[in-house]
């Protein structure tokens, strides 16, 4: 059975429990598209009925607290949906040749998300190894307008940065770099702020949301390294001995208020202005030239390969919808459903550390020239 979310056009398949897709067990569905806001409801109990091509879900969504009763959606016949590739969900062993066939022509643009870095010890928010967001994310307005909030952010990020800085690229990052060196991948867009693509050897990475290892002064625009700031914060807070027990994907950690109360924030060494990590906070927009560059990469691509992103945030999902509008095939590899599944020519549920190296082995085997087919 398939359920289409009319809000965002996604298609979710019911009955693939165990493959990371929307699952079903004895009529209880663990994920149903919510037409009201486009979210995938998770953790609730739902009854699903189907009459012809009409799928109806009812029940309570424990995650969002909403009732999804009587959400009926008319769907085209299953054969036509499968022929269109809507929401296809398959295993690595069954799909590597299909992915390789789509990527063999080269001009592949990679769009990566937090799921690619989980095997480096950095969790995501929504995948199977994800962590629940335990506090409201920092907004640009709060960071610049609230001294206490800014102190709290820097105290928590001071610890979280050390964790991020110790992370090493994993097999998925290295395989992407290998595919780029072989000429298969011609562009990389990442929503991550950890810098692991570059650390793995990839070049020209467009870091959509910035990098945690860089700091910018909001007064004079001077840029410095996070390593330099780390040293200054350590010297300003010699008695700060709080310990991080878990980290969020944005480099934030949880600390009690009494642990941050005495933390001293430092300002720009050149002008005394306010320092901010060079990342895009909520409430900020990605710089227009960066967005334009990404759109240009998608227009020139022969394949958009999404790696480890739930595509929940429009910031990244817009490039998937743009690719679909321009008839650029989209392949999504992610553990769990995504908001872009309805655009995908192929949808693979698999660990990135397995599939991407297998793809690199298939397209650029050791000691051989890259297997790139040039279209006539």
Q: Which of 107, 110, 96, 112 is nearest to 184 (CA)?
A: 107
Is residue 40 within 8 Å of 127, Cβ to Cβ?
no
3-state secondary structure 23-46: CEECCEECEEECCCCCCEEECCEE
User: How far, in whole angstroms, is CA 12 from its chain's centroid?
Assistant: 19
Sole residue written with tokens 């610049």: 144
209 has catalytic annotation: yes
Edge-to-edge strands of the sheet including 346-348?
206-207, 185-190, 108-112, 303-307, 330-333, 346-348
Which pair of structure tokens corresponds to residue 279? 């990342």
Neighbours of 18 (CB within 10 A): 8
Question: 225 φ, ψ to 5°?
Answer: -85, 155
Question: 312 φ, ψ to 5°?
Answer: -70, -35
Q: Which residues are catalytic?
A: 209
């Amino acid at each position: 059975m398939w359920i289409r979310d009319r809000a965002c056009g996604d298609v979710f398949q019911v009955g693939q429990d165990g493959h990371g897709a929307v699952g079903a067990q004895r009529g209880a569905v663990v994920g149903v598209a919510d037409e009201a806001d486009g979210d995938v409801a998770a953790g609730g109990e739902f009854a699903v009925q189907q009459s012809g091509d009409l799928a109806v879900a009812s029940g309570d969504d424990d995650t969002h607290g909403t009732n999804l009763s009587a959400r009926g959606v008319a769907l085209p016949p299953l054969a036509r949906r499968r022929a269109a590739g809507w929401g296809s969900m398959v295993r690595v062993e069954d799909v590597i040749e299909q992915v390789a066939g789509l990527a063999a022509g080269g001009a592949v643009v990679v769009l990566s998300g937090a799921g690619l870095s989980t095997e480096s010890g950095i969790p995501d928010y929504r995948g199977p190894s994800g962590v629940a967001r335990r506090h409201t994310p920092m907004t640009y307005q709060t960071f610049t307008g609230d001294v206490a909030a800014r102190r709290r952010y820097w105290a928590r990020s001071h610890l979280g940065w050390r964790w991020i800085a110790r992370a090493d690229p994993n097999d998925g990052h290295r395989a992407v770099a290998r595919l780029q060196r072989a000429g298969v991948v011609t562009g990389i867009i990442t929503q991550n702020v950890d810098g692991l693509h570059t650390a793995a050897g990839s070049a020209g990475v467009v870091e959509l949301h910035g990098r945690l290892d860089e700091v910018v002064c909001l007064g004079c625009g001077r840029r410095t390294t996070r390593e330099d700031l780390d040293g200054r914060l350590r010297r300003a807070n010699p008695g700060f001995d709080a310990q991080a027990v878990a980290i969020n994907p944005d480099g934030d950690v949880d600390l009690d208020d009494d642990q941050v109360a005495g933390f001293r924030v430092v300002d720009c060494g050149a002008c005394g202005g306010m320092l901010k990590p060079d990342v895009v906070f909520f409430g900020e927009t990605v710089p227009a030239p960066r967005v334009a560059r990404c759109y240009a990469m998608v227009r020139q691509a022969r394949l958009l390969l999404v790696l480890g992103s739930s595509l929940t945030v429009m910031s990244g999902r817009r490039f998937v919808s743009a690719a679909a509008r321009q008839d650029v095939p989209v392949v999504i590899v992610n553990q769990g459903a995504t908001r872009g599944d309805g655009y995908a020519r192929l949808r693979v549920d698999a660990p990135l550390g397995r599939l991407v190296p297998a793809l690199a082995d298939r397209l650029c085997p050791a000691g051989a020239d890259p297997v790139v087919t040039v279209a006539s």
